[in-house]
Amino acid sequence: MLKEKKPTLQSLHKRESNLAKGKAQLEYLSNGIFANGELPTFAQKIKESDDFPLRPNSLEILQINLGYMCNQVCAHCHVDAGPDRKEIMTIETMEQCLEVIKNTSAHTLDLTGGAPEMNPNFRWFVEEASKAGIKDFIVRSNLTIIRANKKNYDLPEFFKQHNVHVVSSMPHWTRGKTDKQRGSGVFDQSIKALQELNAVGYGMPESNLKLDLVYNPSGAFLPGDQKSMEQDFKKALLEDFGIHFHELFAITNLPISRFLDYLIASDNYEDYMYQLVEAYNQAAVKNVMCRNTLSVSWDGFLYDCDFNQMLELKVASKTQHISEYNESLLQNRNIIISQHCYGCTAGAGSSCQGAVTN
C-alpha cells in the first residue's frame, strides 16, 4: 500500500495568506478584545507605570538577520521562514553592516535568520565580523543545518575557530514534541548536531565555547520557570544522549506571523492574549530587549526588535537604514509598540536572551 505523504508546511508568504503582511497582523492585534475594552492595549498598560513612550537604554546588542531562507518550516516561526523564502542579505549590505560593527558601542553581535548559514556569504561575513573583536558573537543555529549538507559538517569547527557563541532551538527533550513543532526528523538530527558541537568542546562544563539552547513552548501556553526547565533539559539530554550545554533560554511565543495564524486557526487566540495580559510583569518592562537591541533586516533596514521587523515596523527615526546608521540619533527614538509586546513582558519576561527578570 502506498504511504500517504504528509503535507509539508509552507510559509504564509507562499500560501499568500493575508497574515503574511505585517499590517494585517497589526490590525488583528488591535481589534476584538483590545478594541472593545475587554483587555487594555499595551500602550494603556505601560502608561499605568509611566513607561510610555518606551525609550531605549544604552545599546548592547546588534542583531542582524541574514535572510529568511531556512531548511526548516517550524509551526510557530515568527519570521515565517522556510525553503520558499528567497530574501537573503547581499554582500553590499553585509559590507555596510561591517562598517557599523567596527564602530558600534554594542558588546554583542547576534546573527539570525532563517538559517543564517544558508546565506552564501555567511562564512565570509563571520570571518570579517569576528575581526572587529566584539565581546560576544552569537550565531543562532537551528542545529539541523549542520547535518543538512556535507559542506556544513565542519560548521562546529568553523564556529570554534571564530569563537562564536552558538544559540540553538530545542523545544523539548522528547522526539514527539520537538518534531511536532519543528518538523519530522528534526529531533534526531538536532541530537546528532549537539553531539558534534560537544565533540569540539561546545557546551562542555568549564568550556569557553558557549552553547545555549532556546526553549519555545510548543503550543498556546507560556514557558515555565527558566531555571527549572534548564534542570529538566540538562538531566534528560545528559542521561539519554550524553549531551551537555550551558544555559537554557525560555522564550515566549509572540502572537505574530505563523504563531498568530496557529492561535487563530486553533481558536486559542483570545485565551492566549488573556494569559499574556494576566501575566504582565511591570519589572520586565524595565529590561525588555528593544531597550538595548537594534535589529537589522536582510535588506538593511533598522527595527526596534526582530518582531517589529517581521511586522514591518521600521524604527521611528530619521535614520532607518544601516547605510545611514547613526547610533546617537537612533538612541533618541521612541520604541514602536503594539499588543504583541505583551509577549515580552509576561511572567519573568522574554527576550532573545531568555527571561529578563530573576
Partner 1 sequence: MASKNYYDPADLRKFGNITEWSKELGEKFFEYYNSVFQEGALTAREKSLIALAVAHTEMCPYCIDAYSKDGLQRGITKEEMMEAVHVGAAIKSGASLVHGVQMMNKINKLEM
Binding site residues, partner 1, CB under 8 A: 172, 174, 177, 217, 219, 221-225, 228-229, 232, 271, 274, 278
User: Rg of the chain over CA atoms, in angstroms?
Assistant: 20
Closest separation between CB of residue 182 and partner 1, Å? Answer: 16
Q: For partner 1, which is the closer residue by CB, 216 or 292?
A: 216
Q: For partner 1, which is the closer residue by CB, 39 or 134?
A: 39
Closest separation between CB of residue 124 and partner 1, Å? Answer: 39
Which residue, among 105, 32, 29, 96, has the nearest Cα to 64 in the 3D structure?
A: 96
Which residue, among 358, 307, 297, has the nearest Cα to 335 in the 3D structure?
A: 307
Closest separation between CB of residue 32 and partner 1, Å? Answer: 14
Closest separation between CB of residue 350 and partner 1, Å? Answer: 13
Q: For partner 1, which is the closer residue by CB, 26 or 279?
A: 279
Q: For partner 1, which is the closer residue by CB, 94 or 229?
A: 229
Burial profile 314-339: b = 16 or more Cβ within 10 angstroms, e = fewer: ebebebbbbeebebeebeebebbbbb
Closest separation between CB of residue 229 and partner 1, Å? Answer: 6
Angle of helix 226-241 versus helix 186-199 axis, rounded to 10: 80
CA terminus-to-terminus distance, the chain = 55
Q: For partner 1, which is the closer residue by CB, 14 or 177?
A: 177
- DSSP single-letter state for residue 184: T
Where do we find the cell 550565531? 139
